Copies of this chain bind each other. A is one copy, B any other.
């Protein structure tokens, strides 16, 4: 008795018997093996490469002879001559089954490949993008069955790819006839699958086989900065990243100032909407240019943002977000054409997906952080803080997740800081201060050397030393406290009090001279009393938010802390804890998640089932409103000291010494100190 040959696919382990002569691609499809193809098995796209194995496979119980697949054919030879195939590779649509065989599907031939991300996050991305390319051959028109070209294309896609109902914008429809004829009745289409309906949408068309890539933009639209990652929609690779300042800053540095601007100025919301949309267009154009990508091949955008930016992006007046009960105009996710958002720098039919908001003050950015960090899957109690102009804070584990936002202001991003700047070459990012000499040493972005190491001056000659970025500010203030240059209330001592000539008078207060570039025509970089006050306000807001969630959950401690945000990625846990930004926790339980909101955007860009997941999950996150919670105010006031409590010692242990100095002076202000003393 002769049986059909046995075909075993790895790594999936799927197996089945197929008649001699069955193409490997056909066998893979029948078994549901994840083997890619754009051209549908016509030997054009070469996406279906596989590697047959030969020899004895005791595990599978087969012996594979060298003749288990058909001979190398002309189509494969043509591809080999033109582009080259890796040794041992075959085209799955050309090689046919002749005997028992074991076939490996390499990662690059898998549609739903896993993308290993550099950042330490809770889970990797599996590719399942909304937009994909399909090569299709369309029957020519016939006077006797006079259907339209579009209807014949739909039928062909249904027959050849099994897709359902398709809609097309007029801008695509009006190019269909010329494209079909140019491609001699073959074309490649980009189809977008809406994750909430069965509909597919025709985004673009190319004559014949289009040997290009599709791209998407994952955009983290922050109050202060806008960051975008350009991703290859086939494999999730980030092929370009760029960040710009949010031009709305001129209407107000923090969100509430922008809401006020909208309230006070008729049309102010529309003005801000126009600004941010224009900035997004510029950003998209420049990121495409830098990555040498045709903007027309950018087919999708995913946005994460806080509720105020969410509304301003959509063209919705954010006024209701400025007053209780902080009602969102819409909280669910949105799937739109980019044209509706005034974005024209990429393919005009491209789609925009905006993650859902959790609540009036906890937006799509918090949802994105949840998506990338998955606190709802955590066994231990995790506190996730996404540091930005508005901090998104999540606390939870498998049983419950709470969320709030806290108005930290832009100080952590270098704004409102006298020598502050955004993280760019030339910015001081790491600082230590000798507790004895009170002399600083520092590193600037763009150099691995410390400022007191040989060769430092040469390395930074190009950029100069231009300011302090957000993480540098945290470090220098924490170091000032540890070096006894500043007391627990945040007051900077005078030269007499600190014994350092770097304590320089500035009006009625003092500043610490971190670097004097005057001799080389550079700036004098100081940390002023006002800088300290700004950071104190910001870190108190951050801490109070975290503390409020802990109160709500009825806990005094958390198991671990995750710092996120563009700046959270670079923050020193030790310094953050000295400063009192975060609750006390063993230092090794503080990790950085990088730009977790941006990562969430990328996850949603690469996989549409993740969109469904977060849409479901946001309804299970309990939102705590900081703005009307009296305890938030209490925590805020109690947290102004540096650090906020003596418990910090238990966790920082011997790493840190905090001198018991106090620089109370007649002229200096000293907010919070009195109250703190009372509480003690």
Contacts and interface: CB of A to CB of B under 8 A. Distances in A.
B143 A173 contact: no
Contact of A148 (B173, B176, B332, B336): B332
A141 B314 contact: no
Contacts of A360: 143, 146
Nearest to A174: B316
A325 B151 CA distance: 15
Contacts of A515: none
A328 B358 contact: no
Interface string A116-158: 0000000000000000000000001111001111110000000
A330 B150 contact: yes
B329 A146 contact: no
A375 B645 CA distance: 88
B329 A169 contact: no
Interface string A159-180: 0000000000110011011100
A146 B330 contact: no
A67 to B, nearest CB: 48
Q: How many copies does the complex hold?
A: 2
Contact of A146 (B151, B315, B319, B359): B359
Contact of A329 (B177, B316, B329, B358): B177
Interface in A429-456: none
A459 interface: no
Given A141-B327, A625-B143, A340 B149 contact: no
Contacts of A331: 146-148, 150-151
A623 B146 contact: yes
Contacts of A320: 149, 177
Contacts of A305: none
Contacts of A177: 316-317, 319-320, 327, 329
Interface string A311-327: 00011110110001111
Contacts of A151: 330-332
A329 B148 contact: yes
B314 A170 contact: yes
A327 B148 contact: yes
Interface in A411-429: none
Given A143-B324, A170-B314, A170-B336, A148 B358 contact: no
Interface in A381-398: none
In terms of DSSP, what is the predominant structure of the interface of chain A? Answer: loop
Nearest to A168: B330
A329 B143 contact: no
Contacts of A308: none
Contacts of A358: 146
Contacts of A140: 325
A566 interface: no
Interface in A459-511: none
A458 B622 CA distance: 83
Nearest to A153: B330
A264 interface: no
B327 A176 contact: no
Contacts of A218: none
A637 interface: no
A210 to B, nearest CB: 20
A628 interface: yes
A340 B167 CA distance: 14
Contacts of A330: 148-151, 173, 176
Contacts of A327: 141, 146, 148-149, 177
A264 to B, nearest CB: 16
A357 interface: yes
Nearest to A196: B165
A83 B359 CA distance: 45
A173 B316 contact: yes
A197 B167 CA distance: 12
A359 B320 CA distance: 53
B173 A329 contact: yes
A316 to B, nearest CB: 4
A316 B176 CA distance: 9
Given A143-B359, A149-B330, A174-B314, 20 more contacts: A142-B325, A143-B325, A143-B628, A146-B327, A146-B331, A146-B360, A148-B329, A148-B331, A148-B332, A149-B320, A149-B327, A149-B328, A150-B329, A170-B340, A173-B314, A173-B329, A174-B316, A176-B329, A177-B316, A177-B320
30 contacts: A140-B325, A141-B325, A141-B326, A141-B327, A143-B325, A143-B326, A146-B326, A146-B327, A146-B331, A146-B362, A147-B331, A148-B329, A148-B330, A149-B320, A149-B327, A149-B328, A150-B331, A151-B330, A151-B331, A151-B332, A169-B340, A170-B314, A173-B314, A173-B316, A173-B330, A174-B317, A177-B316, A177-B317, A177-B320, A177-B327
Chain A to chain B: the 5 pairs with minimum beta-carbon distance, closest first: A146-B359, A148-B331, A141-B327, A150-B330, A148-B328
